[in-house]
Structure 1
């Protein structure tokens, strides 16, 4: 009888400590990153690095596909490609959110799917970043309210700036539903390429969809005037900096401050006035439809 209980205990203990599919994926990713770093440290040719990176990403994509299963969201394909763009910390696209990306054409909507567990691990890694500008909170709700989340999670070559948050109705069965209007750009100031971004958390599933705002977000004269005034002030400081042979640090800092403050004021103005514009109900409906589709409606 004692032997039987020992066997039962051993089996139970083994099951309790067995690696989950998420654990296996994370271990494989960490191993791949280490292997790429070793090749870089050995000064291997670029062709060797590219081949190793491509092979490793394909393996990770296969693991994620098995972990996530086929996507069933209206308007998106059933299969996706890995969201990670590089496994080298020297490259743009390193450290993005672990998941699969599903796209509907080059300029159409896209969706990144992951698990709550993988998102939690990713947020924990971002909370421990040495550079404070890259840090994110570990809580999903708090992270979704920050521009830096979207910059780091689902895009690699531009920064996200939010325009406003939509008053979304949480679909039945969803744990979290959050929608934003904003855009990615490599510079501050008005950005006409606005996107509707919706995140839905349901059980262990996490989906982040992004689609071009339809209809397009209109210009608002009062907000454009705020930016024009700030830009004019910044240009004067910039001219003074140029005239000093790039030595007047005070003028340089003042120019950047004027641009940054102008950008903040412009986006606050858009967030205040856009809900009163005729296009807003359609934009809100677009966000709600994305959320509903991700919830299976």
Structure 2
């Protein structure tokens, strides 16, 4: 009888302490990252590194597919590809959000799907970023309100910069729904290729969608004038810096300050004036419809 009880206890313990599919995924991902780092340290050939990266990403994609199951959002494919772009810390696209990306084309709308648990783990990993601008809070609700979340979660070689937040009606069944208008950039100044970005948390699922703004965001003369004036002032300081053989640090700093202020003033202007534009209701409707579809409405 003692052996029977010991066996039953062992079974029960195994159930309690068994690793979850998410645990297995994280362990496999971290091992792959470690293995690739070791190969890089030993000066492995580029072909070998690329092969190891591709093989590991394919394995992780299968694991995520098993965790998430098929996507059921109208106008999006049921199967996705891994959102991570690289497992090498030296590559662009390393450290993106663990999840699957669903899209019919590279240029069209896309959704990155993941779980609440994977997002929470990912956010914890971003809490100690050396760059203060890239640090993220542990709470999903707070993180979804920050440009830095989208920059790191679904972007690889550019920063997401918000133009404005949409006032969404939270879809039935959703725990969190956030929508914003913005664009991807590597510099200051107007971003004319704007995107509607919507994040929805429903139960254990977290979905982040991105779609080209339709209709395209119009240029607003008053906002354009703010940026044009700021850019002209910055260019004068930049020219002075160039004329000093790159020694006039004050001119250099003044140029950057003028660009930064102009960028901020331009975005504030767009955020204030765009809701009064005739095309704005269609942009809001695009965001709302996307959120509704993401929750199965």
The answer to whether the superposition gives a TM-score over 0.5 is yes
Q: Distance in 2 between matches of 1:35 and 1:210?
A: 33
Q: Distance in 1 between matches of 2:272 and 2:12?
A: 57
Counting only pairs closer than 5 Å after superposition, residues 11-22 of structure 1 correspond to structure 2 as 11-22=11-22
1:198 alignment partner in structure 2: 198
Q: CA-to-partner distance for each residue in 1:80-122, whole Å, 9 max, x for gaps?
A: 1000000000000000000000112221101100000000000
1:34 alignment partner in structure 2: 34
**Alignment of 1:247 onto 2:247:** yes
2:226 alignment partner in structure 1: 226
1:277 alignment partner in structure 2: 277
1:46 alignment partner in structure 2: 46
Q: Distance in 2 between matches of 1:16 and 1:164?
A: 46
Q: Cα offset for 1:128?
A: 1.9
1:119 alignment partner in structure 2: 119
1:235 alignment partner in structure 2: 235
1:110 alignment partner in structure 2: 110
Q: CA-to-partner distance for each residue in 1:182-211, whole Å, 9 max, x for gaps?
A: 000111111110000000100000000000
Aligned-residue CA RMSD (Å): 1.1
Unmatched runs of 5 consecutive residues or more in structure 2: none
Could you state the TM-score of these two structures normalised by the residue count of structure 2? 0.97
Q: Cα offset for 1:76?
A: 0.5
1:179 alignment partner in structure 2: 179
Could you state the TM-score of these two structures normalised by the residue count of structure 1? 0.97
Q: Distance in 2 between matches of 1:2 and 1:44?
A: 55
Q: Distance in 1 between matches of 2:154 and 2:236?
A: 36
Q: Secondary structure at the match of 1:111?
A: strand
2:165 alignment partner in structure 1: 165
Q: Distance in 1 between matches of 2:239 and 2:129?
A: 36
Q: Distance in 2 between matches of 1:4 and 1:155?
A: 54
1:153 alignment partner in structure 2: 153
**Alignment of 1:62 onto 2:62:** yes
**Alignment of 1:207 onto 2:214:** no
Q: Cα offset for 1:134?
A: 2.0
Unmatched runs of 5 consecutive residues or more in structure 1: none
Question: How many equivalent pairs are there?
Answer: 297
Q: Distance in 2 between matches of 1:176 and 1:160?
A: 20
Q: Cα offset for 1:9?
A: 3.5
2:75 alignment partner in structure 1: 75
